[in-house]
């Protein structure tokens, strides 16, 4: 069953408790990112941090088009 944030808790619990053989307290202490790493599903791309966002904004600035109507 998928939760409100789109997480399939049943599958995650099976993977952590059965597949990884984690005790429940260890499973529930993990962050979703830690669980993904343990399952071998590391993020394909690192999150965009403010310095990367600033570089993209500098490379592709918003340009207002002049409409000439005011």
Chain segment 33-52, per-residue pLDDT in tens: 898 889 887 655 667 788 88
Q: Which residues of 29-50 are buried (b: 16+ CB within 10 A; e: fewer)?
A: ebeeeebeebeeeeeeeeeeee
Q: What is the pTM of this model?
A: 0.51
Q: For the chain, give the mean pLDDT.
A: 81
């Amino acid at each position: 069953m998928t939760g409100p944030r789109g997480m399939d808790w049943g599958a995650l619990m099976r993977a952590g408790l059965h597949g990884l053989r984690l005790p429940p307290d260890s499973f529930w202490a993990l962050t979703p990112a830690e669980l993904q790493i343990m399952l071998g599903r590391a993020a394909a791309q690192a999150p965009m941090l403010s310095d990367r966002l600033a570089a993209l904004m500098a490379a592709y600035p918003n340009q207002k088009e002049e409409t000439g109507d005011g």
